[in-house]
Amino acid sequence: MLIHNAPLDARQRLAGAPRKGVAMPYIDSGGIRLYFEEYGRGYPIIFVHEFESDLHSWEAQIRFFSRGYRCIAYNARGYPPSDVPDDPAIYGWEVAVEDIGIVMRDLSIGRAHMVGSSMGAYAALLFGLRYREMSSAIVAAGAGAGSPASDRERWLKNTSVLARALAARGMDAMAEKMARHSTRIQLKHKDPKGWQEFVDRLKQHSAQGMANTLLQCQAVRPALYNFRDEFSRMMVPVLLAVGDEDMPCLETGLMLKSTIPAAGIWVCPNTGHAINLEEPAAFNAQIEAFFSAVERGSWGHIDRRKQSLSGHEKSAAARLHFDGALP
């Protein structure tokens, strides 16, 4: 349960941004160093960032949730100060899924809540399929771009074009163009300063890392529709969050809502892709209510699907609850 009056500095740093003379915190993932930051104490939350951001995009969430939770955010491979491998084969959607588990195991976390955005939401959902015992709750924001069959061809073409442009022109030339996409321009209208900060941070990203991520992760990952059978048997509580102007993700969000037994969906009005940046207060409130319901054992309406569940899964559905023991 989130305790706002916990006797703890809301931004207590356990391992954070680099300071002169202080070693930077890294986790080793098969020889690739992943940079992470950790704040607060309590039950752990793992934050997994989107393609066009890094761990800094979670600042509003970490400031809020570190009052009562142990919050961990990390940069994916290809996102400095994490390593940026030259070899494209070292990237991949399955690698991104496994990196979540590696971060958890390195920090001695056996089970955690997950909050993922876009690319990070995809990884968090697939992690929930693969490692259900390690996933107590999943928030998947803006998941599913490129998943609907009607959007697949356009998605694959655009990722290839963007990867080539990043490699050829670099981040300085591409950052603002990317931030003016039809699903991202909403941030500029709502929060011009926040949008400019988003652009400035995007310029600091590695063009090579982002191009490799596009080609080896985004462009080749299976559509979430391909996992419908597996999702229909996943008992992990899920909150799907999607902006009503994020058209590529709306259809997928509704599919996931109708498929995952313990899923709910929140559609944020007049909002594009980066919900956590556009509407941080509303996003935090939805997550807080979701985590609270999971921890009380009151989340989810899954009886309508029991006919299709196995005996073991029916039992799991009947006792769906949160084990609050620290991992």
**Residue 315 reports pLDDT greater than 80:** no
Give, in order, the Cα–Cα distances in Å from 165 to each of 96, 170, 173, 213. 23, 7, 9, 14
Strand partners, 242: 267
Q: Is 11 helix (H, G, I), strand (E, B) or coil?
A: coil
Token couple for 283: 């996003």
Residue 138 CB contacts under 8 Å (≥ 6 apart), including other chains: 113, 114, 115, 116, 124, 125, 128, 236, 237, 238, 239
Amino acid 301: pLDDT: 57
Q: Is 150 helix (H, G, I), strand (E, B) or coil?
A: helix
Choosing among 3.20.20.70, 3.30.360.10, 3.40.50.1370, 3.40.50.1820, the CATH entry for 13-300 is: 3.40.50.1820
Which whole number is the average pLDDT over 57-68? Answer: 98
pLDDT tens figures, 87-135: 989 999 999 999 999 999 999 999 999 999 999 999 999 999 999 999 9
Give, in order, the Cα–Cα distances in Å from 146 to each of 19, 154, 219, 220. 39, 8, 9, 10
Residue 64 CB contacts under 8 Å (≥ 6 apart), including other chains: 284, 288
Of the ranges 14-18, 190-194, 263-267, 289-293, which one carries the lowest mean pLDDT score? Answer: 14-18
Distance CA 214, CA 160 (A): 7
